[in-house]
Structure 1
Amino acid sequence: MHLEESVPFNVLSHKMVPVHELLSDEEVVKVLKRLKITRDQLPKIKENDACIKMLEKAMGRSIPERSIVRIVRDSETAEIAEVYRLVIRG
């Protein structure tokens, strides 16, 4: 199945979908150290998630399994909330 068939529109452009960013290896080290956790302790996101597929399309390459994605959301209490997800096989 092609991406266009599985995701009929760019979900990342929808106003209700938070920003998704792939972290660099250097950013991963800093985030895990700051949070004092291991990669496996992060919440998961499947590689076939629509946001991951659209991020791959925007980047022009696939996102490897076990990569980490930062999700930046608006928050009423903290203004901006950053969360992280480990990409897993889906």
Structure 2
Amino acid sequence: MRLDDSVPFNILKHTMVPRHELLTDEETDKVLKRLKITRDQLPKIKDSDAAIKTLKVAINKDIPEKSVVKIIRDSQTSETAEVFRLVIRG
């Protein structure tokens, strides 16, 4: 499926790509409080990353710098594993 000229196909539908979700500010605050960290202590993901570019088109919404994305991966030791990334320019 072609989303637009900047995203030739939806990589988020590929079986090897974990689910990506853009968190609201409220959800982000809850996560940071639970993890006892600041936003800048999160691992980073560039806004030029293919998954972020595709997510932006899929949700039809801009993903500003300093937004937080939740990535839900399948896990061998538990059903799923959630990780969080801070969106940066790049």
TM-score normalised to structure 2 length: 0.91
Gapped regions of structure 2 (runs ≥ 5)? none
Secondary structure of the corresponding residue to residue 64 of structure 1: coil
Name the amino acid aligned to 1:48: S
SS of alignment partner, residue 64 of structure 2 = coil
> Mapping of 1:42-61 within 5 angstroms?
42-61=42-61
The structure 1 segments of at least 4 consecutive aligned residues displaced by more than 4 Å after TM superposition are: 3-6
Instruction: Give matches, 1:2-81, under 5 Å.
Output: 4-81=4-81
For residue 61 of structure 1, report the CA deviation from its aligned partner. 1.7
State the alpha-carbon separation in 1 of the partners of residues 55 and 32 from structure 2: 22
Query: 1-side partners of 2:36 and 2:7: how far apart?
Result: 35
Aligned CA-pair RMSD = 1.3
Separation (CA, whole Å) in 2 of partners of 1:6 and 1:45: 18
Unaligned runs of 5+ in 1: none
The structure with more helix, counted as a fraction of residues: 1
Three-state SS of the structure 2 residue aligned to 1:37 is: coil
- SS for the counterpart of 2:56 is helix
The alignment's TM-score, normalised by the length of structure 1, stands at 0.91
Question: Number of residues paired by the alignment?
Answer: 88
Counterpart residue number, 1:82: 82
Q: Percent identity?
A: 69
- 1:48, CA displacement in angstroms? 0.7
Aligned counterparts of 1:87 and 1:24: Cα–Cα separation in 2:
13
Q: What SS is found at the alignment partner of 2:86?
A: strand
2:33 corresponds to which letter in structure 1?
K
Deviation, 1:32, is 0.1
- In the TM superposition, residue 54 of structure 1 has moved relative to its aligned partner by 0.6
Q: CA deviation at 1:8?
A: 2.7
| In structure 2, distance between residues paired with 1:18 and 1:68 | 15
